[in-house]
Amino acid sequence: MIDSHCHLDHEPMYGDLKNVIKRSKDNGLSKILSICTTNDSFSKIIKIIDFDPIIFGTFGIHPHETSKDVVTKNEIINNVRKHNKIIAIGESGLDFYYNHSDKNAQIKSFKTHIEASLELNIPIIVHSRNAEIETFEILKSYYEFRPKILMHCFTGSSQFAKNMLTLGSYFSASGIITFKNSLDLQKTFMTIPNEKLLIETDSPYLAPVPLRGKKNEPSYIKHTLNKLGEIKKTTIDEIETITSNNFNLLFNLK
């Protein structure tokens, strides 16, 4: 199993990294991607990726932080090139649900991250909330350059999924698919081709059923995997192979 999106730099995981990684390995995880959200976050990420061979990282500024944490394309590129285990840009994108950052600042930052990912030829991890039209239109404007897109913790509409598939996007299922009120989302994931599916915890957030309410961690990914297998009407072994192969293909890893 591979956790394609978590935040190992957040507590309680950062202070208990040794045990978190041990539990992850004991539960069958082969890779973990720890996601950057701020410049301060990245200072922890570069330490975390050296902690264990299964951990990889990203560099990016979360849309909530774009009004106060501004980076240039060259700064993104330079941070990535310094570390061979930094394998993607993000998380970046648009979040118009909360008023944490100015919309124009988010859009400018998102475009900067996309352009950096294109120059580096690595994936961009996209966060999109209450911004389906804007997210799609911005990414579509770069279509001729074939961006490598991963829609993280996808909770969008079926139409949004269809639109993003025209751009070749991948979609990551989080513990939300295990929630009782996620029937529409489950139906959407039924329609997404197997070759475009990944799984994630987004830990320490969004712990899956039956652990909902607890602080999440990568070892809990098995519950999301099991649910995705149920949704896709396939075996657990098969969906594990599918999602792991998709991760390795997208991020150019063995």
pLDDT tens digits for range 140-152: 999 999 999 999 9
Whether the predicted pLDDT of 254 surpasses 90:
no
Binning pLDDT at 50, 70 and 90, where does residue 101 land? confident
pLDDT reading at 188 higher than 80: yes
At 100 the pLDDT is 76
pLDDT at 98 over 90: no
Give residue 111's pLDDT band: very low, low, confident or very high (50, 70, 90): very high
Whether 129 contacts 95, CB under 8 Å: yes
Burial class for 123, CB neighbours closer than 10 Å (0-12, 13-18, 19+): buried
Question: Which tokens hold the place of 1?
Answer: 């199993």
Distance in angstroms (rounded) separating the CA atoms of residues 170 and 164: 8
* Cα–Cα distance measured from residue 28 to residue 54, given in angstroms and rounded to the nearest whole number: 11
Q: Measure the CA dihedral 226/194/25/177, to 10°.
A: -40
**For the chain, which domains are there?**
2-250 (3.20.20.140)
